[in-house]
């Protein structure tokens, strides 16, 4: 019988200026253009230098407020460490990309003729498009920073019971990537048929980014099992990605011919790794998991 209910994520009392700056930059990149466009339209701002000034002031204000709100960032770190946040934050940036594409087209049309004094909204929308791209990147970096921080704090004084390196089973990788690419191309085709072939400029980027994210998510990882939970980490060219999951967030574990499966609560994705990759430590891993989780029949 497992003891998952007795293991909790350690208390996180964190004062992390770097994380606050990342979260502030991400939030400002998403919200500042929207708020500025509303002000430009409401107050009928015609001067583009004034519009850009408003955008800068709004972004600075949002940035500062977020940093102040996250002076004690423990709860935010905890939220970003769990669930589907790693997908939600980066993908939110694609919403303004779609909303601002008309402004970009209009801006380039003006650049070929003459930029009118009343085109303040066009310039703000174009800058918003660029900031939306930045938000996609900042969202990913913010989540990774939060998870790395939580993992570092959670296992700082923990004994590692067993460590191994494994990837997702090949069947899972092929199946999920094929579905993602197929659905993506169907959506691209439908949007191009309904609106314009020009929509493929950003929709194909969306499909490529999603496919890349899925591929990287299935890469080989290092797993460390501790008395409090499981840490998983992987290294990419630019970053090291770590995540700590407390035993209380798991329901049970099971084994198939190809994989270990750690079942998570509610809609959180299960943790899967190849039995072939973990073969040298398989018995140790199974026994350690049984100490904390119920062994469910596959």
pLDDT score recorded for residue 260: 95
What is the per-residue pLDDT for 149? 87
Give which of 84, 95, 89, 126 is closest to 203, Cα–Cα. 95
Q: What is the Cα–Cα distance from 268 to 83, expressed in whole angstroms?
A: 5
Helix (DSSP H) and strand (DSSP E) numbers for the chain: 9, 8
- Provide the pLDDT for residue 153: 82
Contact 54, 60 (CB under 8 A): no
Phi-psi region of 219 (alpha: psi -120 to 50; beta: other; left: phi over 0): beta
CA of residue 184 relative to chain centroid, distance: 19
Q: How far apart are CA 239 and CA 124, in angstroms?
A: 32
Output the pLDDT for position 38: 95
The per-residue pLDDT for 112 is: 60
pLDDT of residue 74: 76
Tokens at 87, concatenated: 């997908």
Q: At what angle do helices 17-42 and 48-69 cross, to 10 degrees?
A: 140
DSSP per-residue codes, 45-58:
---HHHHHHHHHHH
The CA distance from 169 to 273, in Å, is: 6
pLDDT (0 to 100) of residue 2: 52
pLDDT of residue 4: 43
**φ/ψ of residue 132, rounded to 5:** -65, -40
In the prediction, which pLDDT does 58 show? Answer: 98
The answer to whether 129 and 104 are in contact (CB under 8 A) is yes
Full pLDDT tens readout for the chain, 298 residues: 454 444 455 555 556 688 889 999 999 999 999 999 999 999 989 888 999 999 999 999 999 999 998 877 777 888 888 766 677 888 888 888 888 878 887 887 776 666 565 578 889 999 999 999 999 899 989 998 889 888 888 887 788 999 999 998 888 878 887 888 888 888 888 878 877 777 777 778 778 877 777 777 777 899 999 998 999 998 876 678 899 998 988 999 999 999 999 998 877 888 999 999 999 999 999 999 999 999 997 6
Structure-token pair, residue 28: 């400002």
Q: What is the pLDDT of residue 8?
A: 52
Q: Do the Cβ atoms of 260 and 215 come closer than 8 Å?
A: no
Q: Is residue 217 within 8 Å of 248, Cβ to Cβ?
A: no
Q: Tokens 């314009």 label which residue?
A: 196
Q: Which one, of 202, 252, 232, lies nearest residue 100 by Cα?
A: 202
């Amino acid at each position: 019988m497992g003891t998952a209910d007795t293991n909790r994520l350690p208390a996180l009392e964190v004062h992390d200026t770097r994380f606050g700056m990342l979260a502030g930059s991400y939030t400002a990149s998403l919200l500042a253009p929207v708020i500025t466009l509303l002000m430009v339209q409401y107050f009928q701002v015609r001067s583009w230098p004034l519009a850009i000034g408003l955008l800068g002031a709004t972004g600075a204000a949002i940035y500062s407020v977020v940093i102040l709100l996250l002076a004690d960032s423990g709860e935010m770190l905890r939220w970003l460490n769990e669930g589907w946040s790693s997908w939600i934050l980066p993908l939110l940036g694609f919403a303004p990309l779609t909303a601002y594409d008309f402004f970009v087209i209009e801006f380039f049309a003006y650049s070929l003729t003459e930029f009118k004094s009343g085109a303040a909204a066009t310039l703000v929308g174009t800058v918003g498009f660029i900031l939306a791209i930045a938000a996609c990147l900042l969202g990913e970096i913010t989540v990774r920073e939060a998870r790395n921080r939580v993992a570092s704090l959670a296992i700082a004084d923990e004994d590692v019971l067993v460590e191994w390196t494994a990837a997702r089973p090949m069947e899972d990788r092929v199946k999920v990537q094929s579905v993602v690419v197929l659905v993506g191309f169907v959506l691209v085709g439908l949007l191009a048929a309904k609106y314009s072939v020009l929509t493929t400029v950003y929709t194909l980027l969306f499909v490529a980014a999603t496919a890349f994210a899925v591929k990287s998510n299935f890469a080989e990882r290092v797993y460390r099992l501790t008395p409090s939970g499981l840490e998983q980490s992987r290294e990419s060219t630019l970053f090291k990605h770590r995540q700590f999951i407390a035993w209380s967030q798991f329901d049970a574990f099971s084994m198939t011919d190809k994989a270990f499966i750690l079942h998570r609560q509610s809609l959180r994705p299960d943790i899967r790794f190849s039995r072939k990759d973990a073969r040298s430590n398989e018995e140790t891993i199974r026994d350690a998991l049984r100490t904390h989780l119920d062994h469910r029949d596959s």
